[in-house]
Amino acid sequence: MKHIPILLSAVVALSGCLSPVGDFRETVAASKRAVFPSLVYIRVVAEGSNGGKFEKMQASGSGVLVSEDGELLTNHHVVDRATRIRCQLTDGSSYDAKVIGKDKDLDVALLKLEAPEGTRFPAARLSERHLDIGEVVLAMGAPWGLARSVSMGIVSCNDRYLEDCGDYTLWYQTDAAISPGNSGGPLVDTHGEVVGLNARGNTQGAQGFTIPSPIVREVLPNLRTYGNAHWAWFGIDWQPLRDFEKDTAFAATEGVIVAGTDPQGPARAAGLEPNDRVTAIDGVSVTAIFREDIPALNRALALRPWDKAVRFDYVRNGVSASVTVTPQSKGDVEGKEVECKRWGFTAKEINRFDTPDLAFFAPEGGVFVSSVSWDGNADNAGMKAKDIVRKIGGKDVKDAAGLQALYDEALKNLDAVTQVGVDVLRKGKNVHLILNYRQDLDKED
């Protein structure tokens, strides 16, 4: 036991609070008291596709109140496809909530409690500062569906890059326990402010990852105004000058490399090419030495106004040049999904961000089979997941609404027609199928 005061003193020093152990304990307790009343336990009923049909499922997560009129923040994945959202506060009161805005890329959602007009709630403050490594933090939330939980740890990394986990943010890494159900809950510093939204953890809770609050603050106005992050899209992938993981390095010390451009994107249309080294954007020098520098660049570009041209200065084969690129709305990053229950499959719109492999074969868009009911009508016809549906009964299928209309029409004519031809594109090859839906196999089960 004689070593415990030494360890606690070390933690205090790391937190920036050089004070006796008793004072540190009070600091932690005060931080907890400042935010804990704003903690929200969230239960959702969501709808998802599985086995060729839509199914209801229940899940839980966490959130934090950020305004006295009942606005709260959580993760996008907590409320994704939710048909009902219920929230319980730490005082035991409960309310339904509606989605005001959400963004899948940043994994942030803004909700509003449906409370009687004039109801006031305890709101936490979103910090504007960036944390240092070693700062003491509290992770609050509802791990494993158990409401009102607090764990403590330190920030073990304040600029963690997670590949394919957010193009627009670096993460705080912490050893404060973040388990399933903690998603959307606040990470709190010793000043009693929310410094981030907990988003990723593991079953052991050993290392968790948090979206820094300054980044959340940047998109919060857009979530309120537009219902989404309102990202501008240039269609550019970047590569840093030094990438240890990929064992690549460029001789230059300034700029950032164009790794690729989207075939349908504004950058390619304007003339930017892979391996171009961009040195300035609208006259402001830009450099990305390491991959940790990329998310800030992506975010700065994405928060620019739509339809306003941006000048890129670049070097290609040793020759300097410039080009103007006018961004467009990024739009939805996931397509709409429909259920064709009698036919035995669900289908989803192709989206260049969500399904780039399918967008390669169908750059103009369309729909693909997202799930097939085992031994159902579609399965018996030979339909497979990821088939791109081109035509049904000789009629083009261009989007989810069009497919829904064809399906509804088929159900109205069951007495006359129970078979239809389906043209699909499978791994680049055209396949014609005959879908017989005379039997309602789902009902027979």
Known catalytic residue: 408?
no
Maximal CA-CA distance, the chain:
86
Known catalytic residue: 19?
no
Identify the active-site residue in 19, 67, 69, 77. 77
d(CA 296, CA 167): 9
Identify the active-site residue in 183, 213, 371, 373. 183
Q: 433, exposed or middle or buried, with CB in 10 Å at 0-12, 13-18, 19+? A: buried
Please spell the DSSP secondary structure of 131-155, one letter per residue.
PPTT-EEEEEE-GGG--SEEEEEEE
- Short-list 109, 102, 104, 28, CA closest to 63: 109
Identify the active-site residue in 80, 103, 105, 107. 107
Pair of tokens at residue 226 = 């537009």
d(CA 407, CA 392): 9
Please spell the DSSP secondary structure of 284-302, one letter per residue.
EE----SGGGHHHHHHHHH
Count CB-CB contacts under 10 A for residue 114: 13
Known catalytic residue: 183?
yes
Q: How far is CA 187 from CA 155, 166, 213, 298, 416, in A?
A: 10, 18, 9, 24, 61
Known catalytic residues are: 77, 107, 183
